[in-house]
């Protein structure tokens, strides 16, 4: 939940007056996203989401995020579309923060994805990768890919064993392997990099939208697939559900066939994706102020996933047939 | 901001299936209210607020709140209207909590009320008191009236001086005066008891709705007026704005003239109202867990207001003319 910056209705009315959205009808802080403050706006023109970008977001990245959402919307991807003001500018300033109004997307996220949900997600992910292919005007490196993991580890190494005995050594070993073997030369492009179930909306069982592009960046496309295998295909008891993996991968490949090199790299990419979320959750977990009302995500969920990926002997364990390579 | 209980879309869909509201279209936790969890629902039938009642609410009080909102809506008061399910029941259970779906009220609250806003509030408050007059099916005593203040003081007395030197003695003295002189025999009925600016919606400058009836109870009507004088008519610098007081009181009296006894009691009732919010804020302030993300309201704001009311020598200081008594 996230409303870090308080906006008065009076300030908002003045801000809205620079847009062609009519008068304000309702205005509520909403519990969505963890990095920024989000408000639901209802105006005479409809429903919108107002986002105020908080300190963890680098203002220099905002044009990339806004440009990406605009680009994807023109390519037919169902995602929030930035609204420009009367001067044609999307990014404004409100309550001392960079601020964006975007269209409101109908739909609800699923908590326990079914195999059908995973298939829909796989197809949408491939569609996103294809639609992003010609978004070349701006570039954003992935600060949370392999080069970014060791600095995170340094923040957590001394206290990691508080969370789980032996965790510090396990991460150090894993880091060495991944840094040495991380694939180069796989197809790259724009990735979402955080396409968890809460960022995907469904309406009547049909995937109706993707949100939260604030980890979007340029990186290996198959790494995005590996992130989704982690986020969508494990059961609450920690078991990988191969039926869901197969559904996700087959639907992805129907839209964008993976190369043999991408398929071969999947187990390693999946280890990397698990380590990335293990590390960021671990750092957050170790830095919660005592008594805080927001409980961070459990890092151990991703330790279990990492252990599964280390046990994988072939991409077939994810439900992919190597014969399906393009 | 408040989303204490997490509801999965799957649970919500099952709950909604017992209502005639069509299918779920969107669902977001909202930052409204401090006692309960609130969600915005959009269904095929429109927009609604889902409230889950948390532990600070006594389930035995819920029929009073729901009955009151239903009663007021039938009397033409713009307030959230409880939605009954197909079995005709308004209060359900969701995620282990008592749950209510109510209609969504358009409008936005004001942060810095103008005199015109105060006049609109005064008229609406009188309208509420008149509309509540025949809500006699249920009764709820005001746990936060004069008899409830000493127990609050006992929770805070030993540490009150941390917040402001001498505060503990000041409150003890004030309590003795108020307990001895609290008026009996003034007109009583249903009061809102928490009609702060964030619980009043305006649309295009017109008052369009009242929300949050969860302090609603039976008590002195003029005490509700005194609460509103405290909440609406002080400036950010702590000064009482007599123009706003006059606007509020005149508009109230145009709908429901105050008796001479009510007018004479106003300074004492205003002291009591200031002490009530001073005490609850003080207890909250002294009980914040270290590092908590929610900062409670400043108790000293109400200490300043209390000091003003102690300096008042006549009801005229609030902007009322004693000649206007009914």
CATH number of the domain within which B85 lies: 3.30.200.20
Closest by CA to B45, choosing from B24, B70, B66, is B24
Reported as a pLDDT band with limits 50, 70 and 90, residue B288 is confident
- Within-domain flag for A109: no
State the average pLDDT for chain A.
92
Residue B109 lies inside a defined structural domain of this protein: no
Q: What are A326's two structure tokens?
A: 């393009």
> Please, are residues A36 and A53 in contact by the beta-carbon 8 Å criterion?
yes
Residues B70 and B143 in one domain: no
Q: Are residues A37 and A125 in the same domain?
A: no
Whether residue B148 is found in the same domain as residue B49: no
Mean pLDDT estimate for chain B: 92
Interface contact A28-B27, CB threshold 8 A:
no
CA pair distance B65, A287, nearest whole angstrom: 41
Same structural domain for residues A291 and A238?
yes
Is the CB of B30 less than 8 angstroms away from the CB of A27? no
Q: A39, A105, A108: which to substitute to probe chain B, counting the most B Cβ within 10 Å? A: A108
Assess B236–A contact: CB distance below 8 Å, yes or no.
no
Q: Does B10 contact A at CB distance below 8 Å?
A: yes
Q: Is residue B206's pLDDT more than 90?
A: yes
Give the list of residues 6+ apart from residue B55 with CB closer than 8 angstroms, or none: none
- Main-chain phi, psi angles of B209, to 5 degrees: 175, 155
Q: How many CB pairs under 8 A join A and B?
A: 92
* Whole-number pLDDT of residue A290: 61
Q: pLDDT, tens digit, for every residue of A163-194? A: 999 999 999 999 999 999 999 899 999 999 99
Q: Are A94 and A214 found together in one domain?
A: no
Residue of B108, B109, B117, B206 to mutate, interface with A, max A Cβ within 10 Å: B108
Strand B188-191 relative to strand B217-220, pairing: antiparallel
Which residues are CB-contacts of B162 (< 8 A; sequence separation ≥ 6)?
B286
Q: Above pLDDT 70, what percent of chain A?
A: 94
Give per-residue pLDDT as tens, A71-85.
Answer: 999 999 999 999 999
Residue B250 in any domain: the answer is yes
Candidate from B9, B30, B293 with C-beta closest to A109: B9
Q: Which residue has the higher pLDDT, B319 or B290?
A: B319
Mean pLDDT of A107-133: 97
For the segment B229-241, what is each residue's pLDDT rounded down to a tens digit?
A: 999 999 999 999 9
Q: What is the ipTM of this complex?
A: 0.79
Spatial contact of B167 and B303, defined as CB atoms under 8 Å apart: yes
Both B155 and B275 in a single domain? Answer: yes
* Domain end among B76, B103, B130: B103
**Do residue A18 and residue A133 come from a single domain?**
no
Cβ distance B106 to A25 less than 8 Å, yes or no, reads yes
**Total number of domains constituting chain B:** 2
Residue A9 in contact with residue A94, Cβ under 8 Å? no
pLDDT category of residue A291 using cuts at 50, 70 and 90 = low
**Is the same domain home to A175 and A70?**
no
The pLDDT tens digits of the residues spanning A24-68 come to 999 998 877 667 889 999 999 999 999 999 888 899 999 999 999
Residue B27, domain extent: 9-103
User: Does residue A15 belong to any structural domain of this protein?
Assistant: yes
């Amino acid at each position: 939940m996230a409303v870090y910056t308080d906006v008065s209705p009076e300030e908002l009315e003045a801000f809205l007056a620079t847009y062609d959205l009519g008068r304000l009808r309702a205005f509520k802080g909403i519990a969505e996203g963890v990095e920024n403050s989000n408000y639901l706006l209802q105006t005479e023109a409809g429903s919108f989401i107002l986002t105020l970008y908080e300190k963890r977001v680098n203002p220099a990245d905002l044009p990339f995020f806004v440009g990406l959402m605009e680009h994807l919307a023109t390519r037919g991807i169902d995602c929030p579309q930035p609204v420009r003001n009367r001067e044609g500018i999307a990014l404004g300033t409100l309550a001392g923060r960079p601020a964006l109004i975007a269209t409101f997307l109908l739909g609800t996220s699923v908590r326990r994805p079914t195999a059908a949900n995973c298939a829909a997600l796989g197809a949408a992910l491939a569609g996103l990768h294809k639609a992003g292919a010609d978004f070349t005007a701006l570039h954003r490196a992935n600060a949370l890919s392999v080069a970014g993991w060791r600095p995170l580890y340094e923040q957590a190494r001394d206290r990691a064993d508080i969370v789980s005995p032996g965790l510090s050594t396990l991460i150090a070993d894993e880091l060495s392997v991944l840094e040495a073997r991380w694939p180069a030369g796989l197809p790259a492009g724009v990735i979402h990099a955080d396409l968890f179930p809460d960022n995907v909306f469904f309406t009547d069982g049909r995937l109706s939208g993707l949100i939260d592009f604030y980890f979007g960046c340029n990186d290996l496309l198959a790494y995005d697939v590996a992130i989704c295998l982690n986020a969508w295909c494990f059961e609450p008891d920690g078991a990988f559900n191969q039926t869901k993996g197969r559904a996700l991968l087959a639907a992805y490949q129907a839209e964008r066939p993976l190369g043999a090199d991408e398929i071969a790299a999947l187990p390693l990419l999946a280890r990397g994706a698990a380590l990335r979320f293990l590390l960021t959750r671990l750092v957050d977990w170790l830095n919660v102020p005592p008594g805080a009302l927001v409980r961070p995500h459990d890092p151990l969920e991703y330790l279990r996933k990492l252990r599964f990926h280390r046990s994988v002997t072939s991409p077939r364990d994810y439900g992919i047939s190597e014969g399906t390579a393009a």
